[in-house]
Structure 1
Amino acid sequence: MNQAIRHTWVVAAALLVLVLGSLTYVQFFEAGRLQANPWNSRNLLQQFSSNRGPILVDGQQIAYSQRSNDQYDYQRVYRDPQLYAPLTGFYSLLNMTGLEQELNPLLTGSSDQLFYDRITQILSGNQPRGASVELTIDPALQKLAYDALGDQKGAIVALNPKTGEILAMVSKPSYDPNAIATHNTNQARQAYEALAQNEANPLFNRAIGGNLYSPGSVFKIIDTAAALESGKYDADSVLDNPAELDLPGTSATLPNYRYGGCAARTKVDFSFALEQSCNTPFASIAMNLGQDAIANEAKKFGFGEPLKVPLTVTPSTFPENLNDAQLAQSSIGQFDVRVTPLQVAMMSAAIANNGVQMKPNLIKTVRAPDLTPVSTFKPEQLRTATSQQTATQIKDWMVNVVDQGIANAAAVPGVKVAGKTGTAELTVGGGNNAWFTGFAPADDPQIAVAIVVENVDVLTGVSLTSPTAKKLFEAVLNK
């Protein structure tokens, strides 16, 4: 009898331990996974019943929560949606993207940075609220960049080269996140699927991701820095400038740029080669220096490096294991070189800032619900891309590109403007991606830009890129 009682107690104790252990496991170890489960309707109700913090530009809300008349207490609303959708992304019953995703802990109020504020709200009986996040974006510059692209596909990025603040980031085509933020699940899903299946890829933020771009001749900034840093070249170097360059190991040739003045000289200096964007001198330089020298210089400017602004930026890439013919093509930003417009803007910004590359950032201020600052923007040095001497020399040559070269449409009267154009040939359809990158004023830089317009002919590209840069420069300098 006593033995039977003991066995019963042992079984009861074991069951109690099992139940307590299971509860402990679920509450502490599985809580995160269960909360993240899309089938967890309680968690979904809790999320959409919270007053999510706004995202602001220049004090104006561009994403905010308003009361809704359904089972969810709040509805996310986006103002000027096409203008800002590539930045904000969307917050919906399906998922979240963009800054809504990257800043989710702050916007919901669950971030450790808001711990004491959250406790205060709970103790006072108030409903928890999220933090507000103000961006570094200049709304007038953002609108100007958006309108400048018109109906063309492409992207524009503008930075403060001294601080890294992102002043404008535009990607086209864009979309309306309000259609996905609806509480009608079927409508939200239909809106999302229509965008996801759209061949124009409106859900891509082309400025920092998507399929990336061949940079064309804006990559010659990297070639020039590598040449000067190698010690094999200097400002007085004389470069061969044939109309065509034989590509080693092939029967093909690399032609010079046809639309500038390259044909006028068979021997050139760096200034003329950049002014007219001559291909053959830079291809020869790359083959002379070798793949490692060009690849290492690209890495110094940020190629291949992960980056969050806090949006996740796809790393730009310079290809590996190249033969000489492929290296020659890569040196003019073709073959398998791929970049984001942000990376190209960072290249110019580093030259503008005496070789120092600042970390790009979209976040100006984070404030608790009582408007107490939680964090404010502080400039952060990312890396030294090149020496001050090299940066100064390239800066002077980029000024010549605008003053007396093919980027003269970017000139601003009375201001020293530095620039570089690029034309990347597409293998499909015969069009080009047109580029401009540069900064102003060259002697006291306030803005660095990168502009890319997709799949246009050369003349259309020229008419869109450099003149747009001029408008952006003027907008900042005339403030």
Structure 2
Amino acid sequence: MAGPRAKRINIPLRRVALVCAAMLFASLANITYIQAFQSGTLNLDPRNQRALIDRFEHPRGDILTTEGEPVATSVKQSGGPYAYQRLYPGGGVYAPVTGYQSLYDETGIEHTEDEVLSGDDPKVKVRALVKDGVADGADVQLTISARVQLAAYEALRASGRRGAAVALNPETGAVLALVSHPSYDPNAYTGFDPDALAEADRLLRADPQRPLLNRALARHYPPGAVFGIVTSAAALASGAYTMSVKVDAPTRLALPGVATQVTNAGGAACGDGYPPLVYAFQMSCDTAFAGIGLDLGQEALRRQAERFGFNADDLEVPLGVAESVYPKGMDRAQTALSAIGRFEVRVTPLMLAMMAAAVANQGALMRPYLVEEARLPDGSVINRATPGEYRSALSASAANEIAAMMVAVARPSGTGAGVAIPGITVAAKTGASAGVAGAPDHATVAAFAPAEDPEVAVAVLLEQSDVTTVAAITRTVIQAALDRP
């Protein structure tokens, strides 16, 4: 039995023990909280070198063109803490598609397919457990054709203008080419020196040409007369028009309620002022289509535009796509201007290609996509794209009539004569739209070929350029897609 002195000694010891126990439990609680709720944040902290080293410990899967050409790959490093580094053999040609993987983040396909490429996807991990237990990344094969992509890129670069080009397979929606110019070299982001990375990023973001901007998907443009595809589809759907019906096409059209007048390019007449719709379409007669817009009204035009995918925010390829816009709440004058692709109508180059693809595919607009499949290093496929319809844009009969009118555009007397290819029937629609005040207009061509059995739909847009230059680029892209000289 402890004496009084022992009891007096035990009191402080008990207090110390209780304090130590409280500190131990607090420490355990804090560790548990960090592991359970803060591990993700700590793993993403750029100061966490262990996470960064682990991120580059294994080779990332390759990104391949449809021909199997690698446009992003991982290379073994001979020294330093990081075992593998990303390399982009195609440089700026594929940058709008691949994006980049840097020390701190990913963009483009590197971002959207990160789990597959890094090996974190459950399907990749399960296969690794069954085999050798090492979860190297899976390869991602794109729908991009190296031949078409390079042809489009070189043609845009030769023009010296900012712009974009998109090529689609109208039957499936597969994206054969997606080019934005000017571009950038994603290899600028693959080094491991934080200061050099920050400087490279600063220079690219400060460039007034905005090379990091994906003009094919993320930039809006007024479509100009190419919007005549939508206006014509609405007119044909109304039952009051056919391609042979005659339309009013004065040299000048006074808009209701305002002092503004619509004129044709160069102030030219449109035939005899009362031509068939096909002639007005072929010659891009703005007065005729503005008048059709007044006749149909904004709701009919909007319904038709939305059937093509305007005002929809659900489009990914899987890269994000800016929403193409057909405005609401317009008066009659604004409705007339919208019918000729002016006022506040805005499109992405991808949408322009989709409009041509819908006409080419008998009115069925397929959902565009960039990733064909993902496969493991042993060749086994874990994901494969399934083409699907995105919208029923217009009836087959209307599509056939618009296709016939687009063929007329590419004839020697049409505004798209420069798109013509000997031995191939090309269908096209041209347009010009106001860009920067005091500068030349933007020029656009949307086309598909062969018209009788379409294999490719193409849209090309150049800022502050002319239709002749854009038509020549469109022709080059079509020839590459059809593998024709």
Measured in 2, the distance between the counterparts of 1:81 and 1:478 equals 23
**SS state of the match for residue 313, structure 1?**
coil
Counterpart of 2:423 in structure 1 is 414
Counterpart of 2:444 in structure 1 is 435
Measured in 2, the distance between the counterparts of 1:328 and 1:160 equals 32
Matched, 1:206 2:211: no
- CA distance 1:17–1:387, change in 2 (3 Å): farther
Range with bigger deviation, 21-30 or 156-165: 21-30
Q: Pick the aligned partner of 2:63 from 46, 55, 59.
A: 55
Counterpart of 1:146 in structure 2 is 153
Matched, 1:405 2:410: no
Q: CA deviation at 1:433?
A: 0.7
Measured in 1, the distance between the counterparts of 2:13 and 2:402 equals 90
Say if 1:262 and 1:273, in contact at 8 Å, map to a contact too. Answer: no
Q: CA deviation at 1:328?
A: 1.8
Say if 2:63 and 2:72, in contact at 8 Å, map to a contact too. Answer: yes
Count the aligned residue pairs.
Answer: 470
Matched, 1:253 2:258: no
Measured in 2, the distance between the counterparts of 1:350 and 1:18 equals 64
- CA distance 1:130–1:6, change in 2 (3 Å): same
Q: CA deviation at 1:371?
A: 2.1
Counterpart of 1:328 in structure 2 is 336
Matched, 1:465 2:470: yes
Say if 1:241 and 1:280, in contact at 8 Å, map to a contact too. Answer: yes
Say if 2:409 and 2:415, in contact at 8 Å, map to a contact too. Answer: yes
- CA distance 1:11–1:444, change in 2 (3 Å): farther
Say if 1:287 and 1:324, in contact at 8 Å, map to a contact too. Answer: yes
Q: CA deviation at 1:90?
A: 1.2
Matched, 1:272 2:279: yes
**SS state of the match for residue 268, structure 1?**
coil
Alignment of 1:141-290 (within 5 A): 141-149=148-156, 150=158, 151-210=160-219, 212-258=220-266, 262-290=269-297
The percentage of counterpart residues that share the same residue type is: 39
Deviations 1:205-240 (A, max 9, x none): 111113x21111111101111111122323343211
TM-score, with normalisation over the residues of structure 1?
0.92
Deviations 1:233-285 (A, max 9, x none): 233432110111112222121111228x6443211221011100000111111
Range with bigger deviation, 215-224 or 142-151: 142-151
Structure number with greater Rg is 2
Deviations 1:355-382 (A, max 9, x none): 0011111112211132211122322111
Q: CA deviation at 1:162?
A: 0.2
Counterpart of 2:122 in structure 1 is 112
Counterpart of 1:77 in structure 2 is 87
Q: CA deviation at 1:474?
A: 2.5
Measured in 2, the distance between the counterparts of 1:7 and 1:287 equals 89
Matched, 1:309 2:317: yes
Measured in 2, the distance between the counterparts of 1:135 and 1:347 equals 22
Deviations 1:148-187 (A, max 9, x none): 1112211110010001111111110011111121111111
Measured in 2, the distance between the counterparts of 1:298 and 1:87 equals 27
Long gaps (5+) in structure 1: none
Q: CA deviation at 1:317?
A: 1.0
Moved over 6 A (4+): 1-17
Measured in 1, the distance between the counterparts of 2:480 and 2:173 equals 18
2:364 alignment partner AA: V
Say if 2:373 and 2:384, in contact at 8 Å, map to a contact too. Answer: yes
Deviations 1:410-452 (A, max 9, x none): 1122322110001012242321111111101111100000001
Alignment of 1:85-100 (within 5 A): 85-100=95-110
Measured in 2, the distance between the counterparts of 1:250 and 1:166 equals 43
Matched, 1:356 2:356: no
1:147 alignment partner AA: E
2:171 alignment partner AA: K
**SS state of the match for residue 474, structure 1?**
helix
Deviations 1:30-69 (A, max 9, x none): 3333323333332222112231111111212111111122
Say if 1:94 and 1:189, in contact at 8 Å, map to a contact too. Answer: no
